[in-house]
Structures are given as structure tokens and as C-alpha cells.
Structure 1
Amino acid sequence: MAAVFSKSISKWLIAASCALSVSACSNWIFRIDVPQGNFLEQKDIDKLRIAMTKEQVQFVLGNPVAENSFDNDVWHYFYALKRGNGENFEKKLVLTFADNKLAQMTGDFETPAQFNTALDQ
């Protein structure tokens, strides 16, 4: 009887040690980075000029992530990166058009030095 009891205890101890060792390895699991949206760099933003048409802006930056349903003159560019290690990175750019021409930009990027100079000047 003592032999059966010691075998069941040893099986339980082996199972418990395996479970603990597997849970300790959970920090070593590789988690991928998850990017979403439009990745923009300042060098792309530096190409923007006031009075550019929507087509010209789209050529430079690509399609916006979202357009305002109630106002076709506001475009939203958004980029989010959720890293596997838990860090988050976000950048946004909002472009406003007037009469189908770029009028204003706001967001997390610096306004280009030449932004207020139209392309045709």
C-alpha cells in the first residue's frame, strides 16, 4: 500500500513540476507586431503643399484610413503599431480640404516649411 501511495505522490509531483515549468516558459513565447493603418514618414508629409488637389494628396500619401461620413473634406490618416512586447505606437494626421484643395493639416507630424507655398507658385 505504501508503494502505491508513493507512486501516486511521485506522479502528482512530476505533473506539478511539469505544469510549473511550462508556465514559467510563457514569457518566452514570441508575439508578433500588429501594424494597422497608413505608415507615414515626415519625408512624405514634407511633400504636402497648400492647395493640392485630393488626387495629388492621394498620390503622395495613399488612401486615407477614414473619411468623415458627413464631411468629404476631412481625411484621417492613422497608424498604430501594437508590439509583441506590449508597447504601443500611434501617429495620426488629419487633412482638411476646401473646394477640393488642401487647406489645413493637423496631427502628430511637423508642418512642412514649404506647406503654405502652393505648387503652382
Structure 2
Amino acid sequence: MRNLISSALLFAALGAAVSGCSPTAVSDFVKPYRIDIRQGNYVTQEMVAQLKPGMSRDQVRFVLGTPLVADVFHADRWDYVYRFRPGKGDTLLERRLTVIFAGDGLARLEGDVRPEDAAAKPQ
């Protein structure tokens, strides 16, 4: 009987403590774990710097990997897209690189990731 009374008092005190908290304070304390989500091809500046005009499709695939999007209707265009959403926070990182071919050779690059200009490098 004594255990029952002490348990009831404990639950009453716990209920009073929780009811005094605002809903936002409780929701900030109790949040589910969320994992980091990485999608697509991660392309670095070093990888893009290895690309040269006229490279074959196989050479570009060797350097950058298989493209995320290889459109049937645009056979001369490969798209490399990378998205990173951390589990905590709302910061979204998105990078895009479009590789355009002329025939079988690399013609030009478009997008966020660009090769560094050789003239801009300190010597």
C-alpha cells in the first residue's frame, strides 16, 4: 500500500511538472533522430579541373562517374546533380553540373561547379 501511494505521488508530481511546460519546450526536447540525406553525384573542383575539351564520353565518365541524368531526348547532355540535406537544421546544399558534348567529344561545362582558371591561381 505504501508503494502504491508513493508511486501515485510520483506520477502526480511528474504530471504537474510536464503540464507546466509549454508545448514548444517539450517538442524542442523530444525530437526524432533524422539522418543526413545525400543524393546524386558529388563532383569536386578537382574532378572538374581534370576535364579537357575534346575528351571522350568514356573519359568523362571515368573522371566524374555515371551521370545522374542521361536524357534520351538530349543525348549530348549529361547532368550531375548533388543534394545534401542535414538531419539537423534546414540548410540545403545543391550543386549542379551539366556536361555538353559535340559528337563524341566534350564541348563545354555549365552549372555551379566550374574548373578554376589557371590565371587566377597564385604562383
CA distance in 2, matches of 1:56, 1:94: 16
Q: 1:26, 1:86 → 2: CA distance?
A: 18
Confirm whether residue 86 of structure 1 aligns to residue 87 of structure 2: no
1:97 and 2:67 equivalent? Answer: no
CA offset at residue 19 of structure 1? 9.6
Are residues 1:77 and 2:80 paired? yes
> Is the counterpart of residue 106 in structure 1 residue 110 in structure 2?
yes
Query: Aligned equivalents of 2:16 and 2:42: distance in 1?
Result: 48
Q: How far is 1:82 from its partner?
A: 0.6
Matched, 1:17 2:18: yes
Partner AA of 1:109 in structure 2: V
Superposition misfits of 4+ residues, deviation over 2 angstroms: 18-24, 110-114
- How big is the shift at 1:31? 2.1
Supply the RMSD in Å over aligned alpha carbons: 2.8
Change (3 A) 1:15 1:63: farther
Q: Which secondary structure state, in structure 1, belongs to the residue aligned with residue 46 of structure 2?
A: helix
User: How far did 1:113 drift?
Assistant: 3.9
Output the CA distance in 1 between the equivalents of 2:35 and 2:56: 38
- Matches of 2:58 and 2:40, distance apart in 1: 19
Give the Å deviation of 1:22.
4.6
How many equivalent pairs are there?
105
Q: 2:45 touches 2:115 (CA, 8 Å); kept in 1?
A: no
Alignment TM-score, normalising by the size of structure 1: 0.73
Q: Paired residue for 2:57, among 54, 58, 69?
A: 54
How far residue 80 of structure 1 moved from its aligned partner, in angstroms, is 0.4
Q: 2:41 aligns with which of 38, 42, 47?
A: 38
Identity %: 34
Structure 2: gaps (5+ residues): 1-7, 119-123
Distance 2:105 2:86 in 1: 36
Amino acid at match of 1:78: V
